[in-house]
Structures are given as structure tokens and as C-alpha cells.
Amino acid sequence: MSDFNPQSPTILYGQGDRLKVLRLILSSLDQPDQAYSIFHIAGTNGKGSTSTMLQALLVGHHLRVGLFTSPHLNSECESIQVNGQQISEGDYIACQQKIAQSVLALGLDPDQDLSQFEWTFLIAMVYFRQCQCSWVVLECGVGGELDATNAISHAEYAIFTKIGLDHLNLLGPDLQIIAATKAGIIRPHTRVVIAPNQPPQVRGVLKDRIQVRQAILVDSHGLQVDHRQVRLADGTSFKVDLGLKGTYQDENLTTVLTAYQDWLAGRGEALEIQRINQALKSVSLPGRYELVQDQPVVLLDGAHNLDAIQELCLSLGEDFSGQRLAIVCGFLQDKDVRHIVEKIGQLPADFYLTQPDFPGRAMPVQQLQALFEEVGIPALAFEDPNQAVDQALASGLDPVVVMGSFHLIKRVRRRWVHG
């Protein structure tokens, strides 16, 4: 639910030519997106982490850098940041009012003709110009080609994090179709960075689009990251002090440093290890392997598709080897929940099932419990997420892991983090 646009539709993706509408609005606002250079980021998993790390590195060069990410956990203001500072409610409303004037002048209904996500995107574009940002890190919401963020007129970089199966009802039934949709953000002469370990069919689709668009594939030059230990092609090796946790961040860090090296080369600058560590040591991202309590350890992770769940399981297995976990989980109905249950069921854990706070899309906890029963895993069920957390904390197990839909994470995170 939106704090600022509660009457607007939640989503209008794929309903008519959304990009035409958004481009008309941007044009009426004198193209705010042309006031800065853009890193455009698409993918299934890792977009938020990649975007946040990249912004931190650019800010380390004393630049004004905008960051647009989703989803938010508490307020749309979280989605719009400049140099790590969220837009204020007052600035959000002021930008919204300015845009509303243009929307009305175009004969559109501000309450019905723009989705909540489209509103936040437009406000970000106007706000970043207002703040005189020189660079913007722009994360796609869903897909790529038809995503609201693709209404921009240019991007210097297109970055692709790990692409997997998610949002099948919107993006298509298989990896090649999903990859082709995400590849739609590649523009002529854009510099393109592809995350390592992409499935071969995904890499093939992206490379084909690069060739068709006459874009430029950025070479990683053999850069490798293993447990935060970075090795460059010239043999240089150093440890990165990264605030973000989880073994899966190695892949995101590889993607970020590949883009960053190329960006530095374009500026005629050399990579500085101290600058990297200074920028990345305090990076954090709500709901992504987030530690919110120490005794017992409580982690919150919004892994809600099979690829993300697999990466989360690897991190838990490495960080808590030999320990029995207490897992609280809940998912939306349109996810591949059966295979997710089969995967997390392999963890040494007691399960406390619940349902996200999303009427109409949340999988009822009884249905989730039935899936656990089908694979022979006993689990307790609670309609109220906080009751599930209470029982997990009372179990005496350490750690307690809350995973699944961001709508679940948002509901329970308030116990530990306010604002």
C-alpha cells in the first residue's frame, strides 16, 4: 500500500503502452532524466545489493549520486535516495504536486492513470535533477523492456544481475523469454555488464541483444571474488570489508567491481583499495540477510524465488554449520512455493509457517502447511506472523531466520527496527 498514492493502482505493468504515457510525462517535465548519467540495473536477484554498493562507490568520489530501488519496506521515501539520504516527505509531496500538474495538463487522471510504482519513479527522476545529481543508479522494478524505468531516454550502463525464474505471470514461462524481456534495457552504444554465473541461455540472449544494439560488453578482465577476497587480472589481491552479509554477495560484488573498474577507466582513474573499503564497509540493505538481533541471532531475508532461496540456503549452511535453525516463512501464491518448500526442507530446522500481509495474493498458511505435509515435514502454522516469530524465539533455537515475501519481512521487522 502506498503512503502517498493510496488511490492509485498497485500495478499497471503490461496494460497498454505504459512507456508512451511515462515518456509523455517526462517530456512535459523537460526531460529530468537527461540531467544526469545513468546506471540502469535489471535482473532477478541481487539488484538492490548491486545498486546500493555501486552508489556507495560513486559517492566515494565526492559526487552527488541518486539511487532508485524497490521494494520499500515502510515508505516510498526509502526508494529515493541521494548520497544515502532518503527523500523527505515534504520533498516527495512537492515533486508529486509538480508532476500532477503535468499529468492533468496531458488530460490524464493522477489517481487512476499512473500506478504507485510509476509515481515513485517519476518523483525520483524529478528529485534527482532538483538535487543536481551527476549520476543515478536506477533499479528496474519488474522485467526490463516494459518496466517503468525504461521510459528514460538514455543510459550509460546497463547492468544485469543474476537472472532466474520469477514473475512468470508477467515476464514469461522460461529463462530465455525472461532474459529477452530484461535485455530490453540495452540501448545503442550502452556499456553492458553481465553478472558471472548466468545460465548459458541467459548469457546467449544478452550477448545477442548487445550485438543487435551495437552496445559494448564490458570485460571483467578476470576479476574474481571468493569470500570477499578479490583477485584482479594483474595478480593484485585484497579483502573487501563489505557491510552486506551472505555468501551470495560475492557474485554481486564481482558485478559491481567490474562496472566500477570500467567507470574508473573512463575517468582515467585507478582502482584504490582503501577507497573501496571505506565506501563498502557500512553498506546495508533492509531485509537482505539482515541481522536485527544478536542473542539469539535473528536474520531477515526477503528470498522469495527459487534462485534466491538456494543462495540463502548456501549462506545459512556456511554461517551456521552444525546448528539447528528456527525458520519462519510465508510466501505469495504466484511463487514456485512447492519447489521452495522442497529446498528449505533440506535445512536442519524447525518450521513456523505464516502468511504475508498482502490480502488477495498471500498464500494462506493452511495451504503452505499442506505443501510441507506433502513432503513429510512437520510444521506449526500461525495466521499472525508475529505469533509465528514469538514461537520461533521461544523454541530456544539459534538462529531464528524469517524468510520469504517482503510483505512478511515488512510486518515483522517493526519488532526490531523502527522508522
Tally the C-alpha atoms within 13 A of residue 131's C-alpha that lie toward its C-beta. 28
pLDDT digits (tens, 9 = 90+) for 344-381: 999 999 999 999 988 888 999 999 999 999 999 999 99
User: With 80 as the cut, is the pLDDT of residue 296 above it?
Assistant: yes
Three-state SS string over 11-25 comes to: CCCCCCCHHHHHHHH
Q: Which domain holds residue 410?
A: 290-415
pTM above 0.75, yes or no: yes
Domain end (from 247, 281, 315): 281
Average of per-residue pLDDT across 274-283: 96
CATH of the domain at 34: 3.40.1190.10
- Tell which wins on pLDDT, 195 or 220: 195
- Tell which wins on pLDDT, 37 or 165: 37
Q: Is residue 3 part of a domain?
A: no
pLDDT digits (tens, 9 = 90+) for 145-191: 889 999 999 999 999 999 976 555 555 667 888 899 999 999 999 99
pLDDT at 170: 59
CA separation for the pair 274, 116 (Å, rounded): 40
Q: Is residue 13 part of a domain?
A: no
Q: Is residue 387 part of a domain?
A: yes
pLDDT at 172: 61
Does residue 327 share a domain with residue 202? no
Strand, coil or helix: 290: strand
Q: Is residue 1 part of a domain?
A: no
Q: Is residue 329 part of a domain?
A: yes
Residue 36 pLDDT grade (very low, low, confident, very high; cuts 50, 70, 90): very high
C-alpha cell at position 190:
550502452
User: With 70 as the cut, is the pLDDT of residue 5 above it?
Assistant: no
Residue 1 pLDDT grade (very low, low, confident, very high; cuts 50, 70, 90): very low
pLDDT at 12: 65
Domain end (from 248, 281, 314): 281
CB atoms within 10 A of CB 317: 16
Question: What share of the chain in percent tops pLDDT 90?
Answer: 81
pLDDT digits (tens, 9 = 90+) for 127-140: 999 999 999 999 99
pLDDT digits (tens, 9 = 90+) for 371-396: 999 999 999 999 999 999 999 999 99
CB 416, CB 298: distance < 8 Å: yes
CATH of the domain at 329: 3.90.190.20
Does residue 350 share a domain with residue 251? no
Question: Cα–Cα–Cα angle for 18, 49, 348, nearest 5°?
Answer: 115
Does residue 296 share a domain with residue 277? no
pLDDT digits (tens, 9 = 90+) for 227-277: 999 999 889 999 999 999 998 899 999 999 999 999 999 999 999 999 999
Q: Is residue 336 part of a domain?
A: yes
pLDDT digits (tens, 9 = 90+) for 86-107: 999 999 999 999 999 999 999 9
Does residue 161 share a domain with residue 79? yes
Does residue 231 share a domain with residue 118? yes
pLDDT at 372: 97
pLDDT at 334: 84
pLDDT at 388: 98
Question: What share of the chain in percent tops pLDDT 70?
Answer: 94
CA dihedral 248, 250, 255, 256 (to 10 degrees): 110
CA separation for the pair 44, 160 (Å, rounded): 9
Q: Is residue 270 part of a domain?
A: yes
CA separation for the pair 110, 132 (Å, rounded): 26
CA-nearest of 143, 190, 134 to 165 is 143
Does residue 354 share a domain with residue 223? no
Average of per-residue pLDDT across 334-343: 92
Question: Which residues, in sequence order, are CB contacts of 299 under 8 Å at separation 6+?
Answer: 289, 290, 291, 292, 399, 400, 401, 402
Average pLDDT, the chain: 93
pLDDT digits (tens, 9 = 90+) for 43-68: 988 999 999 999 999 999 999 999 99
Q: Count structural domains, the chain.
A: 2
Does residue 191 share a domain with residue 171? yes
